[in-house]
């Protein structure tokens, strides 16, 4: 009987420490959501490099919350500790309190807790910007400076979502109130750049970082479904069929001077944007010096993939049922969608203005690429344009607003950090 009782106690202890005993219904809902996202990443190919790690991090943390557990330390009575760990020599400092001996026992954190420090300390986002810089060709933007207008117009969604979030916060709705810092972090979803959003939210609203980051990457992955209806609604068939003339060639000197000038101007104006803008432009200089440094291929492929996976899986692991399934997160989801849609609409509408001003030489569709999801937003412009005219190639032209968008997203981030910190 003693053996059976011991076996039964072991089974009970194992069950009490398992996820079946500790998880609640919210965790199981998040597990279901994670499986749906994995399906979209695998079967539908919606940005698998983003969705796979985010979805799996979300799945793992809701199955095993300890994967994100922080290190802990507690004082235990020495005799109790020795009884629970027979044959183990006590290596910890022994402390005498109230006539009894205690030992301070430390418990290491979960794996993802340590990987997440790259997000918490603001390391991953600037490094990802560095990698993006090595992939960016600013030639289309330099050749067509008008693209700067479209990139700026696409940031309208950021500011509108920020204003709406502030207004909601002032209404005092239970569970749906946002501080100024939280509103700024939510508004940044409209920039459609995950690294920028994570960088800002981590500084201004770390308590909402998980929902904001997951929602941002979700909307980025689904841009090919979100943007086209707005693009078709706001443009005519004739406008979508406009074939743009080839851009002028851009010299090597122009491409090398551009990142240097942008870095000086932006960082002097907004020092808080230095980590993002500086690393973006440094990466671009590495690209232009590529023949000498022989680094861009490694940065663009290997390093970029590693960083995105680490960022994605740890951000996904912040989406626990308790943190994600609440009224406030629903507000983040709605405001994020508004920000993306208004940003797309802003770029399109200003594209129409430029189309009129240039007497039909600019296709308004490229304005949608002003949101800084590089290069997906530019590909969406290309796809919608070719649906109307198979011989229309807008990708190169759309990369101008796309490049401007990523610069402006860093500028807006620096503005929020300067004002709201």
Q: State pLDDT tens for residues 93-151.
A: 666 667 677 767 677 889 999 999 999 899 999 999 999 998 899 999 999 999 999 99
Reported as a single tens digit per residue, the pLDDT across 258-298 is 999 999 999 999 999 999 999 999 999 988 886 556 666 77
Residues 393 and 302 in one domain: yes
> What's the mean per-residue pLDDT of the chain?
88
Query: Are 58 and 134 found together in one domain?
Result: no
Residue 358 lies in a domain: yes
pLDDT at 77: 73
- Are 121 and 145 in the same domain? yes
Tell me whether residue 79 is in a domain: yes
77 and 152 assigned to the same domain: no
Residues 35 and 151 in one domain: no
Q: Name the token pair of 82.
A: 């020795």
Alpha carbon distance 244, 285 (integer Å): 29
What is the residue-wise DSSP string for 296-340?
Answer: HHHIIIIIHHHHHHHHHHHHHTT--HHHHSSHHHHHHHHHHHHHH
What's the confidence (pLDDT) of residue 3? 67
Which residues make beta-bridge pairs with 164?
A: none
30 and 95 share a domain?
no
* Adjacent-strand bridge partners of 107: 72
- 285 located within any domain: yes
Same-domain check for residues 371 and 255: yes
363 with 412, same domain? Answer: yes
Same domain, 376 and 413: yes
Same domain as 413, residue 323: yes
What is the distance between the alpha carbons of residues 365 and 380, in angstroms, rounded to a whole number?
9
Is 368 in contact with 217 (CB distance < 8 Å)?
no
Containing H/E element for 77? strand 72-77
Please indicate, yes or no, if residue 40 is contained in any of the structural domains: yes
> Which own/partner pairs from 161-168 qualify as long-range (CB within 8 Å, at least 24 positions apart)?
161/186, 161/187, 161/189, 161/190, 161/335, 161/336, 161/338, 161/339, 161/342, 162/186, 162/187, 162/416, 164/335, 164/338, 165/331, 165/335, 168/331, 168/335
- Name the helix (H) or strand (E) containing 231: helix 223-234
Residues 92 and 132 in one domain: no
Per the structure, the count of domains in the chain is 3
Whether residue 1 is contained in a domain is answered as no
Mean pLDDT of 370-387: 92
- At residue 86, the 3 state secondary structure works out as coil
How many residues comprise the chain? 421
Is there a single domain that holds both residue 147 and residue 40? no
Q: What is the C-alpha to C-alpha distance for residues 340 and 331, in angstroms, rounded to an integer?
A: 14
What average pLDDT does this structure show over 392-408?
Answer: 94
**What gap in Å lies between CA 89 and CA 99, rounded to an integer?**
22
Q: How distant is the alpha carbon of residue 335 from its chain centre?
A: 16
Q: What is the span of the domain harbouring residue 340? A: 115-420
Give a yes or no: residue 269 inside a domain: yes
């Amino acid at each position: 009987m003693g053996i059976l009782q011991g076996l039964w106690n072991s089974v009970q202890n194992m069950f009490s420490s398992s996820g079946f005993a500790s998880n609640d219904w919210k965790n199981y809902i998040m597990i279901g959501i994670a499986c749906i996202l994995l399906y979209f990443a695998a079967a539908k190919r919606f940005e698998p490099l983003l969705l796979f790690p985010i979805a799996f991090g979300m799945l793992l943390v809701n199955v095993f919350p300890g994967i994100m557990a922080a290190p802990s330390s507690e004082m235990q009575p020495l005799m109790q500790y020795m009884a629970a760990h027979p044959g183990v020599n006590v290596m910890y400092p022994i402390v005498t309190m109230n006539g009894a001996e205690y030992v301070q026992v430390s418990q290491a954190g979960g794996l993802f807790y340590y990987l997440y420090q790259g997000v918490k300390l603001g390391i991953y986002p600037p490094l990802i910007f560095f990698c993006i810089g090595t992939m960016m060709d600013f030639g289309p933007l330099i050749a067509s400076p008008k693209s700067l207008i479209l990139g700026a117009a696409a940031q309208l969604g950021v500011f509108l979502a920020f204003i709406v979030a502030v207004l909601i916060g002032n209404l005092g709705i239970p569970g749906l109130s946002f501080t100024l810092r939280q509103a700024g972090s939510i508004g940044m979803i409209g920039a459609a750049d995950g690294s920028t959003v994570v960088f800002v939210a981590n500084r201004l609203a770390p308590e909402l970082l998980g929902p904001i980051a997951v929602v941002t990457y979700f909307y980025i992955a689904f841009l090919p479904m979100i943007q086209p209806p707005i693009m078709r609604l706001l443009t005519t068939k004739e406008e979508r069929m406009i074939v743009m003339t080839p851009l002028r060639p851009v010299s090597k000197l122009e491409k090398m001077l551009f990142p240097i000038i942008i870095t000086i101007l932006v960082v002097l104006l907004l020092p808080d944007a230095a980590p993002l803008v500086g690393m973006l432009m440094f990466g671009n200089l590495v690209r232009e010096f590529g023949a000498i440094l022989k680094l861009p291929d490694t940065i663009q492929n290997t390093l970029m993939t590693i960083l995105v996976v680490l960022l994605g899986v740890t951000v996904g692991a912040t989406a626990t049922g308790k943190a994600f399934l609440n009224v406030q997160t629903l507000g983040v989801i709605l405001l994020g969608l508004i920000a993306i849609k208004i940003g797309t609409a802003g770029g399109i509408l200003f594209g129409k203005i430029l189309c009129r001003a240039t007497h039909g030489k600019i296709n308004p569709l490229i304005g949608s690429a002003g949101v800084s999801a590089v290069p997906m937003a530019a590909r969406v412009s290309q796809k919608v344009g070719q649906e109307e005219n198979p011989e229309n190639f807008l990708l190169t032209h759309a990369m101008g607003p796309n490049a401007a968008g990523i610069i402006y997203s860093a500028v807006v981030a620096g503005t929020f950090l300067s004002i709201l910190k």
